[in-house]
């Protein structure tokens, strides 16, 4: 199995072609218009922080990209090509690794089984537990993750330990883009620092990273670009360098609307209230 | 970028034995975490087993407290059952009775084996009893009424079971009808089909051919020679021991933790004792029934499939967390459909085995008591009703309990009413143990 972090790409500048882009993406859940006309670009070697208040639609963006909730409208582009993602497998095959906010680990399986779920190492059609355990141990060691044993069920891990297992799981494949939905929310000080370090290493290796976080300190520590979502719409994209935290917080809370939101606010609503 | 990454100087290399295979070695220019630079202190809570017997005792206590009872309750239950009935009737603890139990448990054991797959998904299949009855009827009609080749009839019968199970699985997985309801409908409908097939006579006598001959009560491994039983015992023990030692060697070679040799020997001996004991007892009677040999072989295969293949891993993961499985790229509907197909196939095979015990396919074939006892067997053996936890061996252990009780009640001359009450009580007890152990597992974070 190839290692996502081996090999050294040149950290690409954000000017090149985006590896992943959303163009005018909309998503509806029954009566809830969770996303409308959302635009997002991620370049190789770029960390994009996706921020917004609770319910802004960040996790929905993640699930749309990952193929958990296919989009209703709009376009997803991968390395310049338009692609359709209907199922989680589709996005995995493209090279997108996702760590969900609701971690999605199988509690009854042990750490090794969870890390390799869906892409087990096999020899002659049978599971190669030894190879998987060895790789799992190595990966966890390098992430400085301390868990009682790689052979205990995930159910008996703490929230933070489960989080790192979920992150490690995303790195087992060969991703080009890694999406982390609030990866540090449940973590202690040291583990948070390690996850942020990890994000930087991913960037150094030329991967695109989408990082969702409510913690502005985390965001300003690692992000290159900040994309703000508000009520399911874009509310500005800012380069981290040269933008104050106040500007971003104002965009999150809606104190400053950008042109798009203002225009949108003027036009549609009336249609609904016939 | 072209300079190879160097470990931070002045501190022990945190990557240790990884050498150049360190994916997360910080590239130049990035400060290593302070935490990573210091050799991580050993966490006192890590699960390190103490040396020697003491360590095993501690681990055992920890597991029991954590609700991981495994097959312990069954083994204790079996011994209690044997003790009670032996005290009540001197004929109970005899080789002949052991032979009786070993032979009659196979049909239901096969139903229970299919059910283990279904239970691992956290679902239920209420149709297995009816499907087994229907299968016997299909076989009887094809081979006796229409004089088809017996082996061909067997194949068609097993395929019918597979299709029936797969159909139920499809309705459950693709249309989204709860499995409980789909298989409850099957429970009635397949019984109806069976009655229709058997027609006015109601019973079709079978000829001792093909699988039916192997499943019959006077077919023994190697003709019931003393040597036959011991050969099986030797194969089981050597196979088990060899796989343990092979695994230990591979793990040592790869540098991952492995069990000490003493433990491997202990485990092998622990298996050898009951295996040779059973061989000795069955030899005192008439030998190892062939249906038991087939049953055990199937259990070995199923155990392998569940624990050593990606398919088995999928079954466990869907039983543990459907959403996680879906996101991991597992096709949940395919797993569900295939598991119900497996359950249907085992039901059909079990039906043939049950029919062979009376040499006839009749209306009693779909006895609803069979369904209850098969479910009870799987659960009593330690497979959880809540999905994701269990082993196929629980079908064997569970059916031994059930059949030991049945044989005892039969000897005491107790009537059907009492039998039903006791079987129901045992099933309830097993489910309660399962629920309680799940509760302790939850509170100790292992559910
Ligand atoms: N499966 C679903 N069914 C119906 N509505 C949904 C579903 N998932 C999300 N929503 C709705 O979509 C909106 C956006 O939710 P989302 O989870 O994307 O928010 P978020 O930005 O990730 O919030 P948080 O910061 O709390 O994680 C919410 O109004 C939510 O109720
Ligand atoms: Mg969210």
Q: For the segment A45-60, what is each residue's pLDDT rounded down to a tens digit?
A: 999 999 999 989 999 9
**Which chain B residues are Cβ-neighbours of A123 within 8 angstroms?**
none
Cα angle vertex A246, ends A242, A252, to 5°? 110
Asked if B282 and B303 sit in the same domain, the reply is no
- With respect to residue B79, please indicate whether it lies within any of the assigned structural domains: yes
Query: Which residue's CA is the nearest one to ligand 1's atom 9?
Result: A60
Domains of chain A in sequence order: 20-243 (3.40.50.300)
Q: Tell me what pLDDT residue B239 has.
A: 95
Tell me which residue in B1, B256, B445 faces A137 most closely, judged by beta carbons. B256
Ligand nearest A55 Cα, by number? 1
CB < 8 Å to B23, chain A: 3-6, 139, 142, 171
| Higher pLDDT among residues B437 and A83, named by residue | A83
Q: Which residues of B377-414 are buried (b: 16+ CB within 10 A; e: fewer)?
A: bbbbbbbbbbbbbbbbbbbbbbbbbbbbbbbbbebeee
Residue B322 lies in a domain: yes
Pairing of strands A225-230, A47-51: parallel
The pLDDT of residue B13: 38
* CB of A51 shorter than 6 A to ligand 1: no
Q: Is residue B48 part of a domain?
A: no
Whole-number pLDDT of residue A2: 45
Structure tokens at B251: 């793990």
Structural domain tally of chain B?
A: 2
pLDDT in tens, A167-208: 888 888 778 999 998 888 877 787 788 788 888 888 888 899
Domain boundary among B233, B263, B288: B288
Query: Distance between CA A227 and CA A222 in Å, rounded?
Result: 14
Same domain, B228 and B98: no
Whether residues B234 and B371 fall in one domain: no
Query: Counting one residue from A and one from B, how many pairs have CB atoms under 8 Å apart?
Result: 157
Between residues 388 and 407 of chain B, which touch chain A (CB distance below 8 Å)? Answer: 388-389
The answer on B199 and B88 residing in a single domain is: yes
How far is B75 from A74, CA to CA, in rounded Å?
61
Q: Say whether both B357 and B250 belong to one domain.
A: no
Question: Could you tell me if B305 and B418 lie in one domain?
Answer: yes
pTM > 0.90: no
Are B106 and B172 contained in the same domain?
A: yes
Beta bridge partners of A211: A49, A180
A220 lines ligand 1 (CB under 6 A): no
Nearest by CB to A148, from B45, B247, B255: name it.
B45
| Structural domain contains residue B206 | yes
Domain presence at residue B33 = no
Q: CA B290, CA B222: separation in Å to the nearest integer?
A: 9
In this structure, what token pair is assigned to residue A232? 């399911």
Note whether residue B35 is domain-resident. no
In a domain, B198, yes or no: yes
CA distances to A97, A178, A190, A223, B327 from A196, rounded to whole Å, are 17, 13, 10, 10, 24
Q: How far is B299 from chain A (nearest CA, A)?
A: 17
Whether residues B192 and B323 fall in one domain: yes
Tokens encoding B37: 């630079």
Q: Is the dihedral of CA A156, A161, A166, A171 positive or negative?
A: negative
Cα separations in angstroms, B402 against B113, B267, B397, B434: 14, 26, 9, 17
Per-residue pLDDT, B6:
40
Chain-chain contact of A142 with B316 (C-beta, under 8 angstroms) = no
Residue B210 pLDDT:
82
Q: Are residues B97 and B123 both part of a single domain?
A: yes
- Please identify, among B288, B309, B334, the residue that sits at the C-terminal boundary of a domain: B288
Q: What is the pLDDT of residue B70?
A: 65
According to the model, what pLDDT value does residue B180 have? 92
The rounded distance, in Å, linking the Cα atoms of B280 and B328 is 49
Distances (CA, A) of B302 to B221, B244, B279, B392: 21, 18, 23, 7
Q: Are residues B119 and B191 in the same domain?
A: yes
Q: Tokens for B299?
A: 């259990």
Ligand with smallest separation from the Cα of A57:
1
Q: What per-residue confidence (pLDDT) applies to B183?
A: 95
B228 and B215 within one domain:
no
pLDDT of B31: 39
CB B58 within 8 A of CB B50: yes
* Contact at CB, B313 and A88, closer than 8 angstroms: no
Host H or E run for residue A128: none
Of B263, B288, B313, which residue constitutes the final position of a domain? B288
Nearest CA to ligand 1 atom 31: A55
- The C-alpha atoms of residue A46 and residue A30 are separated, in whole angstroms, by 34
pLDDT along chain B (447 residues), means of 10: 40 36 40 40 50 68 66 83 89 88 93 96 95 94 90 95 97 94 95 89 82 82 83 94 92 87 90 92 88 94 95 95 90 96 96 90 80 90 89 93 89 82 83 79 54
The full length of chain A comes to 274
Residue nearest to atom 6 of ligand 1 (CA): A29
> In chain A, what residues touch B250 (CB-CB under 8 Å)?
130
Q: Give the count of beta carbons closer than 10 Å to the beta carbon of residue B347.
A: 33
Asked if residue A36 has its Cβ within 6 Å of ligand 1, the reply is no
Res A155 pLDDT > 80? yes
Let me know whether B179 and B97 are in one domain: yes
Domain enclosing residue B253, as ranges: 220-288
**CATH number for the domain that contains residue B348:** 1.10.3470
In a domain, residue B333? The reply is: yes
Q: Which residues of A touch B38 (CB under 8 A)?
A: none
Residue B246: closest C-alpha in chain A: A130
Decide if B209 contacts B252 (C-beta within 8 A): no
Per-residue pLDDT, B51 = 56
A193 → closest Cβ in B33, B47, B254: B33
């Amino acid at each position: 199995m190839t290692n996502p972090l081996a090999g050294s790409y040149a950290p690409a500048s954000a000017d090149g072609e985006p590896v992943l882009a959303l163009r005018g993406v909309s998503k509806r859940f029954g009566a809830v218009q969770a996303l409308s006309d959302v635009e997002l670009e991620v370049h190789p070697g770029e960390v994009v922080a996706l921020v917004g208040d609770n319910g802004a639609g960040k996790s929905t963006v993640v699930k749309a990209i990952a193929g958990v909730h296919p989009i209703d409208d709009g376009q997803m582009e991968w390395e310049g090509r338009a692609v359709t993602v209907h199922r989680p497998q589709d996005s995995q095959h493209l090279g997108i690794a996702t760590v969900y906010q609701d971690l999605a680990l199988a509690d009854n399986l042990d750490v090794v089984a969870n890390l390799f779920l869906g892409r087990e190492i096999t020899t002659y059609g049978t599971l190669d537990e030894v190879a998987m355990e060895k790789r799992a141990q190595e990966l966890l060691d390098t992430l400085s993750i301390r868990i009682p044993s790689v052979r205990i069920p995930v159910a008996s891990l703490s929230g933070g330990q489960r989080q790192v297992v979920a992150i490690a799981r995303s790195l087992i494949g060969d991703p080009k883009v890694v999406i982390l939905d609030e990866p540090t929310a449940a973590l202690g000080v040291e583990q948070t620092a390690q996850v942020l370090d990890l994000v930087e290493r991913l960037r150094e290796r030329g991967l695109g990273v989408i990082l969702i976080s409510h913690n502005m300190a985390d965001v300003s520590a690692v992000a290159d670009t900040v994309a703000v979502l508000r009520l399911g719409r874009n509310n500005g994209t800012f380069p981290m360098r040269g933008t104050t935290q106040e500007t971003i917080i104002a965009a999150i809370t809606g104190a400053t609307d950008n042109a798009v939101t203002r225009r949108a606010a003027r036009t549609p609503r009336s249609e609904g209230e016939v | 970028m072209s300079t190879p990454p160097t470990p931070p100087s002045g501190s022990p290399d945190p990557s240790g034995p990884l050498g150049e295979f360190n994916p997360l070695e910080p590239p130049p220019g990035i400060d290593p975490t302070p935490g990573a630079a210091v050799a991580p202190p050993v966490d006192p809570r890590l699960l390190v087993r103490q040396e020697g017997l003491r360590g095993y005792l501690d681990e055992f206590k920890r597991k029991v407290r954590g609700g991981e009872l495994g097959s312990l309750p069954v083994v204790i239950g079996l011994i209690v059952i044997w003790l009670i009935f032996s005290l009540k009737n001197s004929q109970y603890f005899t080789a002949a009775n052991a032979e009786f139990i070993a032979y009659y448990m196979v049909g239901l054991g096969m139903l229970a084996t299919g059910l283990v797959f279904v239970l691992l998904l956290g679902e239920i299949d209420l149709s297995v009893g009816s499907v087994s009855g229907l299968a016997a009827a299909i076989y009887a009609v094809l081979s006796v009424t229409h004089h088809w080749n017996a082996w061909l009839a067997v194949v068609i019968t097993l395929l019918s079971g597979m299709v029936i199970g797969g159909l139920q699985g499809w309705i459950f997985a693709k249309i989204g009808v709860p499995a409980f309801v789909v298989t409850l409908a099957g429970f009635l409908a397949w019984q109806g089909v069976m009655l229709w097939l058997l027609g006015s006579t109601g019973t079709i006598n079978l000829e001792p051919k093909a699988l039916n001959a192997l499943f019959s009560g006077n077919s023994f491994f190697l003709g019931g020679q003393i040597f036959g039983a011991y050969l099986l015992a030797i194969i089981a023990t050597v196979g088990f021991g060899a796989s343990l030692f092979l695994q230990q060697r591979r793990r040592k070679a790869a540098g991952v933790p492995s069990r000490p040799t003493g433990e491997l020997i202990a485990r092998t001996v622990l298996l050898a004792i009951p295996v040779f004991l059973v061989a000795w007892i069955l030899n005192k009677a008439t030998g190892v029934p062939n249906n038991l040999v087939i049953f055990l072989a199937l259990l070995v295969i199923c155990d392998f499939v569940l624990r050593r293949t990606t398919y088995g891993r999928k079954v466990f993961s869907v039983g543990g967390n459907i959403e996680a499985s879906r996101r991991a790229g597992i096709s949940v509907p395919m797993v569900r459909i295939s598991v119900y197909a497996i359950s249907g196939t085992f039901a059909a095979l079990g039906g043939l085995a049950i029919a062979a015990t009376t040499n006839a396919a009749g209306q009693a074939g779909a006895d609803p008591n069979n369904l209850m006892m098969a479910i009870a067997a799987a659960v009593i053996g330690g497979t959880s009703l809540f999905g994701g936890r269990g082993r196929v061996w629980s079908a064997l252990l569970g059916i031994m309990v059930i059949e030991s009780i049945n044989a005892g009640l039969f000897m005491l001359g107790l009537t059907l009413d009492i039998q039903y009450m006791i079987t129901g009580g045992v099933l309830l007890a097993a489910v309660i143990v399962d629920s309680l152990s799940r509760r302790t597992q939850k509170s100790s974070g292992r559910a």
